[in-house]
Amino acid sequence: MLTRHTVMVVGPTGGGKSVIIHTLCRAQTKLGLVTKLNILNPKACSVIELYGILDPIIRDWTDGLLSNIFREVNKPTDKNERRYILFDGDVDALWVENINSVMADNNLLTLANGERIRLQKHCALLVEVHTRSV
């Protein structure tokens, strides 16, 4: 996690993936690195609900669940803090295509309205899946 801002935890159901992630967060917090975890199942909502929508008539942007969480975790902090967004669910080509620019080296979430939000150094993405199919 020192060299990558996106980490995938892979294993079977009941294999301890969630326990490992929560243990990491608690250990970092006990060591003085306050750690906040935002858990999200990207398959529980549509792509529009996840990322947001641009009204084609009035050109008004409405944030989705992920874009709201992304803005919140990327707010500046003066504390020694880590903030994670955990995608807990199967990797799907549809939602992962949209988040791919964040997972790549440029760390940018590009929204449908053209806005780009950079993933800050105190933030990281975690993906918890059964198998790595994409």
Residue 90 has pLDDT above 90, yes or no: no
Average pLDDT over residues 79-107: 81
Quote the pLDDT of residue 103: 75
Average pLDDT over residues 33-55: 91
Q: Which CATH class is domain 6-129?
A: alpha beta
Quote the pLDDT of residue 132: 59
Quote the pLDDT of residue 133: 54
Q: What is the pLDDT confidence band of residue 6, given thresholds at 50, 70 and 90?
A: confident
Residue 65 has pLDDT above 90, yes or no: yes
8 A C-beta contact, residue 51 and residue 64: yes
Per-residue H/E/C for 61-110: EEECHHHHHHHHHCCCCCCCEEEEEEEECCCCHHHHHHHHHHHCCCCEEE
What is the pTM for the complete model shown? Answer: 0.86
How far apart are the C-alpha atoms of 21 and 7, rounded to whole Å?
Answer: 11
Q: Give residue-wise pLDDT tens across range 96-110.
A: 777 776 777 678 888
Quote the pLDDT of residue 126: 92
Q: Looking at per-residue confidence, does 52 or 112 come out higher? A: 52
Q: Residue 40, Cα to own-chain centre: how many angstroms? A: 8
Extents of the domains making up the chain: 6-129
Q: What is the pLDDT confidence band of residue 27, given thresholds at 50, 70 and 90?
A: very high
How far apart are the C-alpha atoms of 105 and 24, rounded to whole Å?
Answer: 24
Q: Which of 7-11, 36-40, 50-54 ranks highest by mean pLDDT?
A: 36-40
